[in-house]
Amino acid sequence: MIEFVFTPDDVARVRFAFSPLWELVHGLRVLADPSGHALHLPWVRQVLPRLRGLDRGLLDELIPAEGYVPDFLTPPPVTPLPDFAAELETVRATRPEVVAEEILWARPGNPVRPGRQAMADDAERTLERVVDQLERFWALAVEPYWEPIRDLLEGDVLRRSRALAAHGAEGVFADLHRGVAWRTDTLVVDRPWSFRSELRGRGLLLAPSAFVWPRVSVMVPPYQPMLSYPPLGVATLWEPRPAAPPDALAALLGRRRAQLLAALETPASTTDLARRLGVTAGAVSQHLGVLRACGLVTGHRLGRRVLYARTAAGDTLSAAGRPP
């Protein structure tokens, strides 16, 4: 197991971010083993035809379905809302000796995978080709779906930031993942290998990722300690439309407003709600304005975007409208 030991300062330094590059890497792991990520099969079926003829040989070699991925491919995000192009430049700036060392790294008893020695011997050329393959894969397989993925991740960041402010570390970690447990001052992550680290003021970076489902992913020192986990609501990502709202709630609010209130089980943006309900963003904005005036939803600015979430009154009304 992995143990991160917190001081009071570390709890105060828990922060949230998400990473387009981490999403890309986890997406490659989904493609390497679709059966282990059945939730994302709709995405797999859509992207495989787009990837025909794409050379991703180095990526497939370096990013297996499970096990170690060279850390230079997943630098911890340094801003809450990172940009893929900026993250790619961070990868491109990796020193060749770091590239070679991490390509050849293997756990005791596990031999280095065939072909990696040649990749490490020409680390500069390998890095150049890897960056090119990352860029092409992003354009074909992740960027077309990035808007709903980003909305899901932003919504989870908002929800857990509020939990941290209201309840501290226990409020954040209590329902993070079945393989993660908070024990007094230590975060324990279920892993087949052992590692214990005192954070000593470095804090912990929490990064939701859609494609990491159903697992979690961990980065340990000397990098910034980081935990990537599936966001709440990831099961809705590939659903074209939300389920019909209860009849009683629809009769009270109107069908569309009841749909919106039900869809806000997790925070979402206007564009995401419009996509999921199959209506225009303008129509969603009008209905949200009514719900907001009634105290059922509230808006939270995150960067340049606004995410909407149910208020306590909205939660109560939505729950009351469900059949027993």
pLDDT in tens, 284-318: 888 888 888 888 888 877 667 788 888 878 888 87
Give the range of the structural domain holding residue 289, as residue numbers without chain letter.
239-321
List Cα–Cα distances, 160 to 125, 155, 230, 243, 256, in angstroms.
41, 9, 12, 25, 27
Query: pLDDT (tens digit, 9 = 90+) per residue, 131-151?
Result: 999 999 999 999 999 988 988
- Domain final position from 92, 119, 146: 146
293 burial via Cβ count (<10 Å: 0-12, 13-18, 19+): exposed
Q: What digits encode the pLDDT tens for the residues 177-213?
A: 999 999 888 999 998 878 898 898 888 999 999 999 9
Do 230 and 254 belong together in one domain? no
Same domain, 141 and 25: yes
Task: Say which CATH number the domain at 251 has.
Answer: 1.10.10.10
Whether residue 236 contacts residue 275, with contact meaning beta carbons closer than 8 Å, is answered with no
Query: 75-131, pLDDT tens digit by residue?
Result: 888 877 778 999 999 999 999 999 999 999 866 556 677 788 889 999 999 999 999
DSSP-assigned letters across all residues of 130-180 = HHHHHHHHIIIIIGGGHHHHHHHHHHHHHHHHHHHHHHHHHHHHTTS-TTE
CA distance 126 to 173: 38
Q: Which residues contact 303 (CB under 8 A, 6 or more apart)?
A: 80, 81
Of 207, 234, 261, the domain-final residue: 234
Do residue 181 and residue 212 come from a single domain? yes
On whether both 11 and 68 belong to a single domain, the answer is no
Are 141 and 249 contained in the same domain?
A: no
Per the structure, how many domains does the chain have? 3
- Up-side HSE of residue 241: CA atoms within 13 Å toward CB? 8
pLDDT at 102: 93
Is the separation of the CB atoms in 130 and 58 below 8 Å?
Answer: yes
Q: Are residues 199 and 55 in the same domain?
A: no
Residue where one domain finishes, among candidates 234, 262, 283: 234
The pTM assigned to this predicted structure is 0.73
